[in-house]
Amino acid sequence: MVGRKGLATCCRVGGATPYDVAGLGPYDTGPHASKPVRRWTKHPPDNVTFTGWIDDIRGAYGAGDVYLFPTKNENQGIAVLEAMACGKAVVLRDIPVFEEFYTHGHDCLKCGTDAEFREAVERLAGDEALRARLGENARDTAAEHSLDRVGDTLVDTYREVRDATLAGRPVGVGG
């Protein structure tokens, strides 16, 4: 998990800044957890705290100024959308899957190295207008991916398939 979710990056970047950093959610620290996860969660930098399970994540997102998500492997990134829905400026790892959903400089900042992540956090800490602009655009992005919007799209798609089938037109299936 440490390599996949970016826990080490979060700790290194957090430890290199003067800001309080919260690692949201639980991390498995039992015997089957990787050694780096156990090491980072037991001995994080002084300004990094791991929260464990949070019943209402919205409050945690709301408490922060920036959401740092240096994951190396993700699908769409539901946690990213949750933070964006709360109007947070988001800093993401620049990985191919995020190209489809998020735009650097519009609704997030994308980074590739620890130095770039640290620079992005420092930039956002010092530029309230940029944080606000990214957060506002992020909220719009999250709304585009809301369950209501996705449901409406699915309903429209099913109607198109139904109508084409009833009309005897061939229906193509992508994939």
What is the per-residue pLDDT for 128?
96
What is the per-residue pLDDT for 120?
97
CA distances from 107 to 26, 42, 67, 80, 168 (A): 27, 33, 12, 11, 43
Q: Which of 3, 32, 4, 45 is nearest to 23 (CA)?
A: 45
Residue 164 host element (H or E): helix 147-166
What is the per-residue pLDDT for 6?
86
| Single-letter amino acid, residue 155 | V
With a cut of 70, which residues of the chain have pLDDT below it? 1-3, 146-147, 149-153, 171-175
What is the per-residue pLDDT for 61?
85
Residue 154 host element (H or E): helix 147-166
Domain spanning 2-144: CATH 3.40.50.2000 = yes
